[in-house]
Amino acid sequence: MEGSQPQPHAFQVYLRLRPPIHQSTTTTANEDTSFLTVIPPIPTFPVDDEVDNETKTQVTIHPPSNHRSQKIETFSFTEVFDEACGQAAVFGKIVSPILEGVLKDGRDGLLATLGVTGSGKTHTILGNRQTRGMTQMSLDVIFRSLSDRISRLSESQMDQCNDADADIMDVDAFMTKVTSIVEPHQIPKPNTFPTKPSVESQVVQVSGPASIKYAILMSIYEVYNDKIFDLLAPSTTTRRKALLFKSTKSSGDRKVVTGLRKVMVTDLYEALQVLGVGQYQRSHGETGSNDKSSRSHCFISLELKKLKKSKLDGSTKIKESTFTIVDLAGSERARNAKTAGDRLAEGGHINKSLMFLGQCLEMSTTQSLSQPSKIPYRQSKLTELLFTNSYNPAAEPQIAAIVVTADPAGDFNATSQMLKYSALAKSSVNPRPPTVMSGRSVSGSSLFSHFSVASGVSGATEEYRPDSSMSAMSALSVLSSPRAMLSQDMVNMIAFLQRQLRQADEKIKEAEKRVEEANARCLEVEMQVREEVTTEMEQRIRMMEKKMLLRLQDQAEQEEVHVDRKLDILKRTLMETNDENDRARDLEIEEYVRELEAENNSLRNEVQALKRKRANGESPLKERSLNRLKF
């Protein structure tokens, strides 16, 4: 499964310890000021032939007794080089494999040193008066390996491979130009560079027909206050022009430093001349921590142009590979460095860029190389320069190594901080207070002779008892004296701890399996309960529906009876109303009839009376009354 594979890391990260140089006047020869211990390789049980039992990969740091945290931390690296390791050993283990990749496979290579100020970064990269650094040894190996294949670029070839607006120059023209600006005596002479250690045995066999040639271009630049400056283009004015880091037409997605001066060199002597100019031009300064402290991140770039002539049309195909050597400025604490003004501002820029580098390194140990977008390397010029080409998706990733340098007797806080973000893995333990074990109290002198480990989820506790008679005090002195040789007892104890860890691991896995099974069972039960609840609910709903229907029917019937009753009342009321009306009308008619009859009677009487009067010959007035009656 892809996710479970260990992720490839952008860098191999090595740790190199600096030997003590100046014995403090207040420190006696026996007094041990070191807070750092290299853990001897743990023998594998049973002995595994494939495991390199000589390679040291871990260190522990023990805080000074007055430090607020007494946590003992362990850091893992690709390999740890102790104080006794010289330049040749470091070169052989770290740089030789990179050079093989560059010379044989045409890959890009990167070597960088990282560490607190004064921890030995520049010493590793450039050496000192007596010893060569990785740069001189690399140049020596490159020229020895390519010897009679070294060539110069023709004008047209220069145009062909100049993708970054570079100022490509022959070394003679370059030295003439430089010495017209800089006093020649100020530039370190190549013959003052040491010749030791020798690298004759490290020569890389380059295969292919002898017609394949190589041209070598050298450029040196620095990142100072987050700006890139060319160290091979000395200026007559104090104002230097910063260079751009960008992608060009021919470089595609890959970013390159544009406008750089690139000097064509054909042998070690010429290369050392160019290196001398770069070293002279680099920003240095005196600080409280280092009297010749690097105040910038210096990049030395060696471009190998592989020239292959076509037999068909005589044109030259150019394949490029670059080996970049980086001497980073050291992180520093202003209080220790006793800096002010420009130096303080430089220190701020240095620390900031190193903080970003730390973030990128930490993330690159947890991220897959296939997810480069998640590494925040665009935060500073330094991280962009270091990481952009490591993650170049268009090309094979470069072979990259970081050498973290540390002074075991230097600044504890700064060094532990540096180890924290550069280590490939880390763990820590807090010295434990007296513990109650198996019903017995373990305290004081027996704390170290009885070592307890809670094993796995069951909480069972196993005890470690040393085979030999190592006393609590001697165990204590081993733990507090990092430089002391670790006894067989300690090795046994570590092996015992490893066994315990393995057991705990197995128990954790078993417990995880059980939790998974329990989860599955829970899920099953949950499904069953859900089904039962659903069925019961459906039954209840059906019953409720039935009840509701019956109640509605009841209601409807009652309504009907109620309405019928109302209708009856209405009918009755109507009928009663009609009867009363009829009776009233009849009475009225009767009354009217009676009135009419009365009037009739009175009229009849009047007619009788008139008739009688007429018969008796009475007046016309009386006749008129008679007419009215006729009418």
Ligand X SMILES: Nc1ncnc2c1ncn2[C@@H]1O[C@H](COP(=O)(O)OP(=O)(O)OP(=O)(O)O)[C@@H](O)[C@H]1O
Q: Which is nearer to ligand X, 43 or 288 (CB)?
A: 288
Q: Which is nearer to ligand X, 96 or 294 (CB)?
A: 294
Closest CA to 109 of 117, 118, 119, 101: 101
**Using the rule CB under 6 A, which residue among 60, 135, 290, 455 binds ligand X?**
290
Determine, following the binding rule CB under 6 A, whether residue 19 of this chain makes contact with ligand X: yes
Can you read off the two tokens belonging to residue 107? 């890959």
- Please tell me the number of Cα atoms within 13 Å of 43 on its side-chain side: 10
- What's the first-to-final CA gap in the chain, in angstroms? 135
Q: Considering only 15-23, 26-34, 296-304, 392-400, which stretch makes contact with ligand X by CB under 6 A?
A: 15-23
Closest CA to 375 of 361, 386, 389: 361
Q: Per CB under 6 A, which of residues 587..616 are in contact with ligand X?
A: none
> 617: alpha, beta or left, given left = phi > 0 and alpha = psi -120 to 50?
left
* 115 is known to lie in a ligand binding site: yes
In the complex, the smallest distance separating the C-beta of residue 384 from ligand X, rounded to whole angstroms, is 21
Determine, following the binding rule CB under 6 A, whether residue 121 of this chain makes contact with ligand X: yes
**Residue 42 — φ and ψ, nearest 5°?**
-85, 125
In the complex, the smallest distance separating the C-beta of residue 118 from ligand X, rounded to whole angstroms, is 5
* 288 is known to lie in a ligand binding site: no
* 311 is known to lie in a ligand binding site: no
**Using the rule CB under 6 A, which residue among 9, 62, 107, 123 binds ligand X?**
123
Q: Which is nearer to ligand X, 175 or 419 (CB)?
A: 419
Determine, following the binding rule CB under 6 A, whether residue 89 of this chain makes contact with ligand X: no
Determine, following the binding rule CB under 6 A, whether residue 133 of this chain makes contact with ligand X: no
**Using the rule CB under 6 A, which residue among 9, 14, 18, 216 binds ligand X?**
18
d(CA 549, CA 571) in angstroms, rounded, equals: 33
**Using the rule CB under 6 A, which residue among 78, 96, 119, 324 binds ligand X?**
119
* 481 is known to lie in a ligand binding site: no
Determine, following the binding rule CB under 6 A, whether residue 138 of this chain makes contact with ligand X: no
**Using the rule CB under 6 A, which residue among 60, 78, 117, 500 binds ligand X?**
117
Determine, following the binding rule CB under 6 A, whether residue 456 of this chain makes contact with ligand X: no
**Using the rule CB under 6 A, which residue among 118, 234, 358, 482 binds ligand X?**
118
Sheet strands (E) in 266-406:
284-285, 293-294, 297-309, 316-327, 399-406
Determine, following the binding rule CB under 6 A, whether residue 282 of this chain makes contact with ligand X: no
Residue type, 533: V
Q: Considering only 69-77, 97-105, 289-297, 551-559, which stretch makes contact with ligand X by CB under 6 A?
A: 289-297
Q: What stretch of H or E contains 287? A: none
Give DSSP secondary structure letters for 406-441: E-TTS-HHHHHHHHHHH-SEEEEEPPPPPEEETTEE
d(CA 397, CA 386) in angstroms, rounded, equals: 12
Can you read off the two tokens belonging to residue 249? 């037409």
What is each CA distance from 268 to 140, 150, 173, 190, 428, in whole angstroms? 6, 11, 17, 9, 47
Contacts of 21 (CB under 8 A, 6+ apart): none
Binding mask 377-416 for ligand X (x = CB under 6 A): ----------------------------x-----------
By CB under 6 A, name the binding residues for ligand X: 18-19, 21, 115, 117-123, 128, 290, 293-294, 329-330, 405
Binding residues: 115-122
Binding residues for ATP: 115-122
